[in-house]
Amino acid sequence: MSGRVDAHHHVWDLSVREQSWMVGEEMAPIRRGFSIGDLAPLAAEAGVTSTVVVQTVGLVAETREFLEVAAGNELVAGVVGWVDLTAADVGEMLAELQARPDGEWLKGIRHQVHDEPDPRWLCRDDVRAGLAAVAEAGLVYDLLTKTPHLPAALETAQALPQLSFVVDHISKPVIGGDLEPWASDLRALAALPNVTCKLSGMVTEASWTDWKVSDLQPYADVVLDAFGPDRVMFGSDWPVCLLAASYAEVVEAAEALTATLTPPERQQIFGDTARRIYKLS
């Protein structure tokens, strides 16, 4: 059995740059630097042997830094970076990143769609052209959305069948709120063969102080039923998850949420799906 893959985590160094999203007293627990060295013992304890590090800011400089991290560390098997999808030269920028000595670790691109004022940002002509360039480069696109953005995500995934989309954090439903329209919209997205989903980011959408696995289960059940284990991948969302749970607690929750599946199905969620979709070596 291959080691596990954590398909979604972050690192940052606040002495290099601020994380502009990290505002408010509630963010104090994670307002410090987090490195691969900090993650390594936690990952080892959880049986995680490969990870995908994901962008946190809209800067190509961060993507270059992450590629250097991946090249210099055995744990990181892939990078989901950032480029300006609205730029006319997005194809050239992707080519420049891939041509670097460490460019082979670039596996995908992401943008903070849920921070865009326009819920239909993904449907803009310039964005669609940028996404087509991501597909042309052989990369994956991570969808960072919330429920209001799912209709635009659906239209966009339909319009670009050549691009592999990955829904981050099950599209961030409010855990404990209404399942609809999130569940129906996510099921519509799951009906497309070019879309997969990360079982990640759930604990921070629940009550940070007293969430239980049973709070998360209805949402995980929708994801597992809609996508199937072969299109679902585990992600810790470390260190953001630390606002609500330790790394070990997030892994244990994911194990509990998938406890009724067969061992081969769990192997897909905890490794095989991410290896296939992100082409991890």
pLDDT tens-digit series, residues 207-227: 999 999 999 999 999 999 999
- Give 42-69 pLDDT, tens digit per residue: 999 999 999 999 999 999 999 999 999 9
Q: pTM of the full predicted structure? A: 0.96
For residue 208, the SS3 value is coil
CA distance 205 to 216: 9
In terms of phi and psi (left: phi > 0; alpha: psi -120 to 50; beta: otherwise), the region of 279 is left
Which ranges in the chain belong to alpha helices (H)? Answer: 36-45, 60-71, 90-99, 125-136, 150-159, 182-190, 213-227, 247-257, 263-267, 273-278
Q: Do 79 and 107 form a contact (C-beta atoms < 8 A)?
A: yes
CA distance 56 to 30: 13
Strand arrangement, sheet containing 106-111: 4-9, 48-54, 76-81, 106-111, 140-143, 164-167, 195-199, 232-234
Residue 149 has pLDDT above 80, yes or no: yes
Q: Do 102 and 128 form a contact (C-beta atoms < 8 A)?
A: no
